[in-house]
Structure 1
Amino acid sequence: LLAKNALMEPIDMQELMVRGPRNNIEELRIELYEKVNALGIGAQGLGGLTTVLDVKVKDFPTHAASKPIAMIPNCAATRHIHFVLDGSGVAELVAPKLSDWPKISWSAGATARRVNLDTVTREDIASWRPGETLLLNGGMLTGRDAAHKRIEEILARGESLPDGVDFRNRFIYYVGPVDAVRDEVVGPAGPTTATRMDKYTEMMLNETGLLGMVGKAERGPEAIVAIKKHRGVYLMAVGGAAYLVSKAVRSSRIVAFEDLGMEAIREFVVEDMPVTVAVDANGESVHKTGPREWQSRIGKIPIAVQV
């Protein structure tokens, strides 16, 4: 409960550091904040100066033999709304003014590489490097946990995949999109956590002819070994921006497993969908190289140099 309460507190680390700590709890907050950011993990785990925006610490009397600890990480896109229920009637929530937010323009940058998913080859992906920005164009299939499990069962029985489900020289996007409303092509379509598909990666790369995967966050050792073995690739889409990602989807249709609802296999046609090369064909992961580089830049943690 204390940890959940902490999530509702305002982000005030910068103000605290300016005025200085007044007690042991505030000293601990600053210490943890500085040490975590010195790890160089950064946003999305790609490396950077800022890994956490704030650290909250709550304490409460407890038996000396217990000392329970609860820790809850909050999303960097922290969103709060406050209201009071006092029995006088329905709480009124005031809608935020869009004018309160700065106007943001987005550009992929001059070094971003456009990729045609309909013609890309294994030789092409061999040249991609961790941390590189790609703009995906063309068709790719989607699938999450339930779809992968069903694919595994079908292949184990020696049967063919359904018509329209051909992964040869194609990419799969780990997503379960929300239903479209009004004139939307598809609802919010942000990536799901890729590590849940790690146990299926060897099967997909070895038995279906899949070239690569698009998902959220890092891959575990099991998946990285399979990617390196089959000279595949893993691309990371932007997490926490599902609505914005959906704007890159130009068409969407269900091709198999419609009974799975949002986890059905779909074919997306995308235009300039931004992704980052997270694991290249050599098995090099940006979630290892990025933080390591930033640790050395920040210079607060000794770095072991491999000769």
Structure 2
Amino acid sequence: MAAITEEHLIESIADALQFISYYHPGDFVQAMTAAWEREENKGAKDAMAQILVNSRMCAIGHRPICQDTGAANIHIKVGVEAPLKLKRSLQEIADEGTRQGYARDTNPLRASVVVDPFGSRKNSGDNTPCMLTVEMVAGDSVEVEVAAKGGGSENKSKFTTLNPSGNVADWVVETVETLGAGWCPPGVLGIGVGGNADKVMAMAKQALSEPLDMQELLRRGPSNNVEELRVEIYERVNALGIGAQGLGGVTTVLDVKVKSWPTHAASLPVGLIPNCAATRHVHFTLDGSGPATFTPPAVEDYPDIVLDAAGAQSRKLDLDDLNDEVVASLTPGETLLLSGTLYTGRDAAHKRMIDMMDRGEELPVDLNRKAIYYVGPVDAVGDEAIGPAGPTTSTRMDKFTDRILADTGLKVMVGKAERGQIGLDAIAKHDAAYLIAVGGAAYLVSKAIKDAKPVAFEDLGMEAIYELQVQDMPVTVAVDTQGNSIHRSGPAEWKKKIAERA
């Protein structure tokens, strides 16, 4: 039997990371399409339409589904009889595959991994090291699961240890209700039950790569305790009314996947990890015959959705004319098309600006009556002005918001998901507004960006401040100048509607 070599693993992992950067799994597209067809809330339905159109565009253009091309999660099952010809450790080999996958010139992927989590948080520059787990199993082949996990959904991971008599479904539903929309619903919930703390979280992560079959399960009905738990959580979470992007609606989760393991008699560990609308994973097997090959989905597998390109139902907003009257006229739930100058800025840029203001230094950009976009884009290729550039989770900027609004005169922020109470208070205090772009539609959003140039903090890489020129960039008003939030009113309205039907 031919040997399985380092080169087989490296090339396969690199190709897999490229493949999943622009191809959603087919079952995910099917589940999202079915949810889009069922959705009753127009705002949520439009958000899902953008996600599906973006998915099709990425499949055709071979560009990332999301600007957060994720940390590389690699799980390798090594057959105990597999004929391996390796000199380096599996971590080193998987890291080399990750390095090559993320640095490909034709489709460079965003490097998001920082090597020092405590101090400088310096970016590794190539997205290594990958997050590797290894398992020895029976057999003579090597099975590999490659996934790219974005920070927005990973940050919402939760763990608890219930009493043995505790109710898993109750804990999951109560926890999901507190997560907000930062994990970019609708997506998938991975749940582990049993084992211990590390085992249960590993199971929750592995569950996310299982096939999506909830609609089939609902048609035939559950046949065991695990399937009953899946259905119960699916129905109860969707009854929360959170909806796509947290706008309110009938679908918050597309599927619920559960894995379990024996546990201590005194314990009931439960792990919860959500996967976002940029769910990305692929599985392959190596047997010594060479690197893995991947079969792309057919374009016909994607729904044929035509977005309202002319924006007939959307109001146009000139970002170069943000006077108080215009900003005050924005209402939660209203859809807008933005044109004009839009600056970028995330956590690191906000912190650096505040440090400069504390020292009495002049900022490198004038944000007075301007708008800022919370984004860390992918590098451009070819004639692109910018690579995929979807929004990041805005709550991370809440602690900076009051100072930035007070000292710079900034009037509008654009990001994704809800704002916390600190952010809402600051927005109302300074008569500003907060808008959201659709998380999971990064390539689509980037097409509205006609020019991009770095203007400050270039050493921060993807967290540098860019000056963008946008034309008809689609967004939704999330928070008005009074602090009223669509992420509160929308889910509350749809939770009530769903309950009245029950």
Question: Do the two structures share a fold, i.e. TM-score over 0.5?
Answer: yes
Aligned mate of 1:75, from 266, 272, 276: 276
Q: Could you give the per-residue CA deviations for residues 236-291 of structure 1, whole angstroms, max 9, x where no partner exists?
A: 11101111111000111111112222211111010110011111101001110000
Greater helix share, 1 or 2? 2
CA–CA separation in structure 2 for the residues paired with 1:67 and 1:87: 41
CA–CA separation in structure 1 for the residues paired with 2:482 and 2:270: 40
CA–CA separation in structure 1 for the residues paired with 2:372 and 2:203: 40
Q: Are 1:102 and 2:303 counterparts?
A: yes
Q: Could you give the per-residue CA deviations for residues 197-249 of structure 1, whole angstroms, max 9, x where no partner exists?
A: 11110011100000010011111110000001111001011101111111000
Q: CA RMSD in A?
A: 1.5
| SS of match in other structure, 2:216 | helix
CA–CA separation in structure 1 for the residues paired with 2:315 and 2:499: 32
Q: Are 1:143 and 2:345 counterparts?
A: yes
| 8 Å Cα contact 2:319/2:370 also seen in 1 | yes
| 8 Å Cα contact 1:234/1:279 also seen in 2 | yes
Match of 1:305 in 2: none
**1:300 Cα deviation from its structure 2 partner:** 5.5
CA–CA separation in structure 2 for the residues paired with 1:66 and 1:89: 45
| SS of match in other structure, 2:254 | coil
CA–CA separation in structure 1 for the residues paired with 2:301 and 2:492: 37
| SS of match in other structure, 2:388 | coil
Alignment of 1:41-190 (within 5 A): 41-107=242-308, 110-162=312-364, 165-190=365-390
Q: Which amino acid aligns with 1:298?
A: I
Identity in percent: 64
Alignment of 1:184-203 (within 5 A): 184-203=384-403
| 8 Å Cα contact 1:112/1:132 also seen in 2 | yes
CA–CA separation in structure 2 for the residues paired with 1:301 and 1:44: 23
Q: Which amino acid aligns with 2:322?
A: V
| 8 Å Cα contact 2:372/2:412 also seen in 1 | yes
Match of 1:251 in 2: 451
**1:301 Cα deviation from its structure 2 partner:** 9.6
| 8 Å Cα contact 1:52/1:76 also seen in 2 | no
Q: Are 1:281 and 2:481 counterparts?
A: yes
| SS of match in other structure, 1:76 | coil
- Could you say which structure has the greater relative contact order, defined with CA pairs below 8 angstroms and 6 or more residues apart? 1
CA–CA separation in structure 2 for the residues paired with 1:87 and 1:131: 55
**1:27 Cα deviation from its structure 2 partner:** 1.2
Match of 1:31 in 2: 232
**1:104 Cα deviation from its structure 2 partner:** 2.4
Q: Which amino acid aligns with 2:359?
A: R
Match of 2:3 in 1: none
CA–CA separation in structure 2 for the residues paired with 1:94 and 1:195: 38
| 8 Å Cα contact 2:436/2:477 also seen in 1 | yes
CA–CA separation in structure 1 for the residues paired with 2:296 and 2:258: 31
| SS of match in other structure, 1:155 | helix
TM-score if structure 1 supplies the norm length? 0.94
| SS of match in other structure, 2:413 | strand
State which drifts further: 187-196 or 39-48.
187-196
TM-score if structure 2 supplies the norm length? 0.58
| SS of match in other structure, 2:455 | strand
Q: Are 1:20 and 2:221 counterparts?
A: yes
State which drifts further: 73-82 or 258-267.
73-82
| 8 Å Cα contact 2:322/2:411 also seen in 1 | no
Unaligned 5+ runs, structure 1:
303-307
State which drifts further: 131-140 or 63-72.
63-72
Q: Are 1:237 and 2:437 counterparts?
A: yes
| SS of match in other structure, 2:274 | coil
Q: Could you give the per-residue CA deviations for residues 111-152 of structure 1, whole angstroms, max 9, x where no partner exists?
A: 311001111211111111111101000111111111111100
State which drifts further: 65-74 or 205-214.
65-74
Q: How many positions carry a matched residue from both structures?
A: 300
| 8 Å Cα contact 2:414/2:435 also seen in 1 | yes
Greater strand share, 1 or 2? 2
Compared CA separation, residues 301 and 208, structure 1 to 2 (3 A): farther
| 8 Å Cα contact 1:53/1:76 also seen in 2 | no
CA–CA separation in structure 2 for the residues paired with 1:9 and 1:285: 35
CA–CA separation in structure 2 for the residues paired with 1:79 and 1:256: 32
Q: Are 1:296 and 2:496 counterparts?
A: yes
Q: Which amino acid aligns with 1:37?
A: N
| 8 Å Cα contact 1:39/1:301 also seen in 2 | no
Match of 2:117 in 1: none
State which drifts further: 253-262 or 143-152.
253-262
CA–CA separation in structure 1 for the residues paired with 2:285 and 2:305: 33
CA–CA separation in structure 2 for the residues paired with 1:99 and 1:16: 25
